Amino acid sequence: MQATVCADIGNYSTLISTVTGRTASPVLKMRSLLYNCTHNGEVRDNVHTAENPLVYVNHKYWKVGRQAGLYKDHINLAEAGKNRCDLVLPLLLAGTPSGFEGEVKFLVPKRDSGAEKLLKTSIIGTHEYSVNGKEAIANFTDVAFTEETKAPAKFAFEAGVVAPNDVILLIDLGGGTCNCGVFAYEDDVFSTRFYKSYDNSGGIGLAQAICNTDLVKSYKRTVDISKIMDALTDGKTHIGNNPDYSFASVLDDCIDTWFDSLLTKVLSSTQQHLDEVTQILWCGGGSELIKNRLIQQGQTVLDNPQYANIDALIHFSKTPNLAIAA
């Protein structure tokens, strides 16, 4: 029976599910943080969980997930880049069941033949590894790439979220990137009229704006961008566990500036298509931060927006005959 690992290795979170036939495993969600603890036995000997696993592969131990951020010199995928093969592999294996044999499907913000070739070279083949001390083996027979945003756009039509004759502008606001596209069904065929991806415009852009305020600079401490991103995701307004390092007084202004800049960029890029657009939809974890204002403006936020891409990829992996048009 055909088996597929569906992976949305995002700048903020990593989401992974295994599809076998028409059955999908529950989505595993991990923070996209890693710490090389090959020479740190104290970290390796700690308690590890599915969401914060210890992965051993290629003679290195990696602490993965939010707990990796507790250690100095941890790696934040939002800053390191999702094309780092040495980082993608442990994240992928953390969510791959032992004995798996089949294809990997990755969601990517935009197609890049050079980066895809490197990822394929490092992933295709048999890997012996361990997760939380349990030895495992997996054989990845192929790697396929699907552009983010297109999958949930097509799924929105199929699920009846939008009407068949609608033309939609879907804005996918992730942790690192912001993608936007104009999509429609033409002669019963799903088509992409426009698509663009903006680096460092997602949640990380807001976190950087907060970090650059006079308020945060006045704390005279080195601020990890990932800590601000964690706070925003958790609905908190202070850095780390210390409420004295609050950014509450500047948050609304930072959100306004970030959102206005982002929307101006998107609307400018899609201007020639706007007359035909009948609905504006949003997805991605970053859209949760501005959900109320979007609804007040008559725009639609897809249900469970952070999972919109992975849910669509899982759906189309169960029904592989339904292709996603370029």
pLDDT-based confidence at 324, cuts 50/70/90?
low
Residue 138 has pLDDT above 70, yes or no: yes
Looking at residue 16, its pLDDT comes to: 98
Looking at residue 142, its pLDDT comes to: 96
Q: What percent of the chain has pLDDT over 70?
A: 97
Looking at residue 176, its pLDDT comes to: 83
* 148-326 CATH pick, 3.60.21.10, 3.30.420.40, 2.60.120.560, 3.40.50.1700: 3.30.420.40
CB 206 within 8 A of CB 232: yes
Looking at residue 201, its pLDDT comes to: 87
Looking at residue 183, its pLDDT comes to: 97
CB 160 within 8 A of CB 300: no
Residue 325 has pLDDT above 60, yes or no: no
> What average pLDDT does the chain have?
92
Average pLDDT over residues 29-57: 96
pLDDT-based confidence at 320, cuts 50/70/90?
low
In degrees and rounded to multiples of 5, residue 226 shows phi and psi of: -65, -30
DSSP run (H or E) holding 101: strand 101-108
pLDDT-based confidence at 35, cuts 50/70/90?
very high
Query: HEC string of 3-33?
Result: EEEEEEECCCEEEEEEEECCEECCCEEEECE
DSSP run (H or E) holding 118: helix 113-123
Quick: pLDDT tens for 233-271: 888 999 988 899 999 999 999 999 999 999 999 999 999
Q: Which CATH fold topology does 3-146 show?
A: Nucleotidyltransferase; domain 5 (3.30.420)
Average pLDDT over residues 49-53: 97
Average pLDDT over residues 14-32: 95
DSSP string, 230-270: HHHHHT--BSTT-TTSB-HHHHHHHHHHHHHHHHHHHHHHT
214 token code pair = 């006079």
CA distance 263 to 265: 5
Query: HEC string of 298-325?
Result: CCEECCCHHHHHHHHHHHHHHCCCCCCC
pLDDT-based confidence at 222, cuts 50/70/90?
confident
- In 3-state terms the chain splits into helix, strand, coil percentages (rounded to 5) of 35, 30, 35
Quick: pLDDT tens for 177-215: 899 999 999 888 999 999 998 888 888 899 999 999 999
Q: Using DSSP bridges, classify how beta strands 125-131 and 54-57 pair: parallel, antiparallel or unpaired.
A: antiparallel
Q: Is 69 left (phi over 0), alpha (psi -120 to 50) or beta?
A: alpha
In degrees and rounded to multiples of 5, residue 111 shows phi and psi of: -75, 140
Residue 321 has pLDDT above 80, yes or no: no
Going from the C-alpha of 307 to that of each of 20, 157, 288, the distances in angstroms are 19, 17, 12
Looking at residue 7, its pLDDT comes to: 97
Looking at residue 200, its pLDDT comes to: 81
> In a 3-state reduction of DSSP, which class is residue 147?
strand
Every domain range in the chain assigned CATH 3.30.420.40: 3-146, 148-326
pLDDT-based confidence at 1, cuts 50/70/90?
low
Q: What percent of the chain has pLDDT over 90?
A: 73
Residue 57 has pLDDT above 90, yes or no: yes
Q: Which amino acid is at 76?
A: N
Q: What is the reported pTM? A: 0.89
Q: Is 139 left (phi over 0), alpha (psi -120 to 50) or beta?
A: beta
Question: 86: burial class by Cβ within 10 Å (0-12, 13-18, 19+)?
Answer: middle
Dihedral of CA 280/286/288/291: which sign?
negative
DSSP state of 99: T
Quick: pLDDT tens for 283-308: 999 898 899 889 888 899 999 999 99
CB 25 within 8 A of CB 95: no
